[in-house]
Amino acid sequence: MNKFIKEFKDRGYFYQCTDELELSQLLDKKKIKAYIGFDCTAESLHVGSLLQIMCLRLLQKHGHQPIVLLGGGTTRIGDPSGKDQTRRILSEKEINKNSKNIEKILNIFLKTKDKKTKPLFVNNYKWLKDLNYISFLRNIGKHFTINKMLTFESVKTRLDREQSLSYMEFNYMILQAYDFLELQKKENCILQIGGSDQWGNIINGVELIKRHCNKKVFGLTTPLITLSSGAKMGKTAEGAVWLDKKLLSPYDYWQFWRNTNDKDVIRFLNYFTDIESEELEKVKSQNINDLKKLLADKTTAMLHGEKEASKARKTAQEVFSGHLSGVNIPSAKIQISQIEQNINIIDLVVLSKLENSKSEIRRLIKGKAIKINNELITDDKYLVEKDLLKENNLILSIGKKRHFKLIIN
């Protein structure tokens, strides 16, 4: 078995392949170009995209060149896969901003110095924006049947639930197949990797290239990552676990991994770190909390760097020991006038962005979950006064693991 395919399987990335044996044999003979697509629906990716990013890294590790396809064109339509309702249509300005930021994030994870494995960033808007509708239907549309398209899970689910599926969304799968065709012609790309929910779209691309160019290409999918609780990977009760530090601090990112369920730790060390399987075998008998810290350290260092990972671990240790005053926890500056006017505790929590819902904040206060400078707040009408300031800052805490420092100007 080819080394890339073997590690792909050993790490638990493998779900389906259009022709595993032939792909493995081909990879033994030469280095290839393979692509993964990312739609630009938000200004950042979140950890739900992390497995695909790890696949890009694995391609580089084994000497192959990854192509990152940014869906500047298809984002204007919206992928119905895994969605039970139509996505909001974004403006061109939003899509362009999102695609630039996503590229910046992916460049953190990927190696860019070796010309042979340096990632290629391509935007499908380049070829989709000038498509002639009549020509596209004649040359590409003729290869697709409505009968088959209706059997795809992304379409079938919506129709079975009697939920609307726009003609625009219905066309998405054809455009994704066309993306593969364009990348095959322009870059000699012969492999598309995606999540298992993309299997139908990937098959469309493989078959389109066979019919249109009489060439053999391949599709490879990864499993849908769920937590041991059954929940989908990528979000918490507090919201999405973003990869952009402007949206989620390195400390909070570290904490997300530190709070991994015991049952998921070894699996996630395999999925989301570069620890080799032999090394993982040696350490997996360690104390579970040490393994959680290892997971948090490795994942945070990969995204934010060793320095930020070390700082996050130190902060977590200080928080755990109760020494909050000097902690390098997420912070924001506010004007002294806001404190002098005796800001309400609910407004203060909203200002910190630890929680946005005022009704949820009231529930937390009632449940004795909110503290200021380690002092419990029990009244939702509590006014935060200047006397509470310690060295021109105060520490706001929700529960044992969410803390925020407000620095007073």
404: confidence class by pLDDT, cuts 50, 70, 90: confident
Domains 3-222 and 249-321 share a fold: no
Higher per-residue pLDDT: 216 or 248: 216
**348 to each of 343, 359, 370, 406, 409, how far by Cα in Å?**
7, 14, 11, 9, 15
In angstroms, the CA 124 to CA 122 distance is: 6
Query: In this predicted structure, what is the pLDDT of residue 232?
Result: 77
Other beta carbons within 10 Å of 374 = 11
CATH of the domain spanning 331-408, picked from 3.10.290.10, 3.40.50.300, 3.10.105.10, 3.30.950.10: 3.10.290.10
Q: pTM for the full model? A: 0.80
* Per-residue tokens: 74: 């298809």
* Per-residue tokens: 53: 């990013």
Q: Which tens digits make up the pLDDT trace of 106-159? A: 999 999 999 999 999 999 999 999 899 899 888 998 888 888 878 777 777 777
Query: In this predicted structure, what is the pLDDT of residue 4?
Result: 97
Q: Which tens digits make up the pLDDT trace of 312-356? A: 898 887 766 655 555 566 777 777 776 667 788 888 888 777 788
- Annotated domain spans of the chain: 3-222, 249-321, 331-408
Domain 249-321 has CATH 3.40.50.2300: no
CATH of the domain spanning 3-222, picked from 3.40.1190.20, 2.40.50.180, 3.20.20.70, 3.40.50.620: 3.40.50.620
The residues with which 16 forms a beta bridge, in sequence order, are: 221
Sheet strand arrangement including 370-372: 331-334, 402-408, 393-398, 370-372, 375-376
What share of the chain has pLDDT > 70, as a percent?
89
- Report how far Cα 177 is from the mean position of its chain's Cα atoms: 23
